[in-house]
Amino acid sequence: MAEGQIRQSLSGFYDVFSAGKMYRTRARGNFRKRRITPLVGDRVVFESSSPKEGYVLEILPRTNSLQRPPVANIDQGVVVTAVAEPEFSTNLLDRQLIALEVSGITPVIYFTKTDLIDDDRYREFETLAAGYRQIGYAVCLTREPFATEGLNQLKTTLADKETVIMGQTGAGKSTLLNHLSPDLTLATGEISKALNRGRHTTRKVSLMPIAGGLVADTPGFSSYDTLTIDYRELCHFFPEFMALADDCRFRGCVHINEPGCAVKESLAEGKLLQSRYDNYVQLLTLLKNQKPVYNKKK
């Protein structure tokens, strides 16, 4: 028996990296009975008679996990965001950031397709990027797409970390990975103009060594699973609201109609991004009206 890390999953096989070697394994049959699915990024105990034959015996405790993409023990998530084609939306960006915050994963924002916008629009994005940096997020935005300074900034961020690259199909995730590690040559899918949605170009989930860290390249997706948090908890995943919460008059303030709300005061003074607050209110309303989901017994 040995310990290792699942680096790739494909059709029921799990490639486990241990002591400099890769072992192809399957999950023990009782995993299915116990409804346990090994994830890429899991630390596992396994046994192997040869590099092509082995079994995962135990999954060690996870620090976190994501459903889409199905990965575990991730340190940070790079949200690849196109400034155009597909059309930019602060709402989608904020939903992605919240999904990461809920999972305890540090978000990083990387803007792509900056060559498709004019200088005035680019200045708007500079202002937006400054707003997100003020919150505490790392943001990569360069006038030329995939400029060396932005890539170098990202490479430093990736070193010694396990990272998931996420974002809409067509946002440029595979292109970004190809720039970071040219020997990867991942298939890059053009946006299907007829359907206006990208074809899935990435079929398997794997952790790849890039820039001194491990990066999960994952299928593109344009919508996020419904958040299953209580609406009163939503503000906990907006770092800029949490920084002000102690100054609110009421404990448990959700920053909507309460008097003496420090968040609303900061917003009125122009110290917070209006788009963030608007997206917060919209999401809070959605969560408040969400009907509980009862899982039927199988």
Q: List, in order of start, the domains of the chain with CATH numbers.
A: 2-61 (2.40.50.140), 66-217 (3.40.50.300), 231-289 (1.10.40.50)
**Residue 48 known to bind ligand:** no
**Residue 168 known to bind ligand:** yes
Q: What pLDDT is stored for residue 191 in this prediction?
A: 33
- Mean residue pLDDT of the chain comes to 87
**Residue 172 known to bind ligand:** yes
**Residue 174 known to bind ligand:** yes
Going 255 to 136 to 112 to 79, the CA torsion angle's sign is negative
**Residue 142 known to bind ligand:** no
pLDDT higher than 90, residue 222: no
**Residue 114 known to bind ligand:** yes
Contacts of 191 (CB under 8 A, 6+ apart): 85, 86, 169, 170, 197, 198
Residue-wise pLDDT tens digits, 180-193: 888 765 544 433 33
Q: Residue 24: what are its φ and ψ, rounded to 5°? A: -85, 125
pLDDT higher than 50, residue 147: yes
Residue-wise pLDDT tens digits, 254-294: 999 999 999 999 999 999 999 999 999 999 999 999 876 66
Q: How many CB atoms lie within 10 A of CB 40?
A: 27
**Residue 112 known to bind ligand:** yes
Question: pTM score, two decimals?
Answer: 0.83
**Residue 4 known to bind ligand:** no
**Residue 140 known to bind ligand:** no
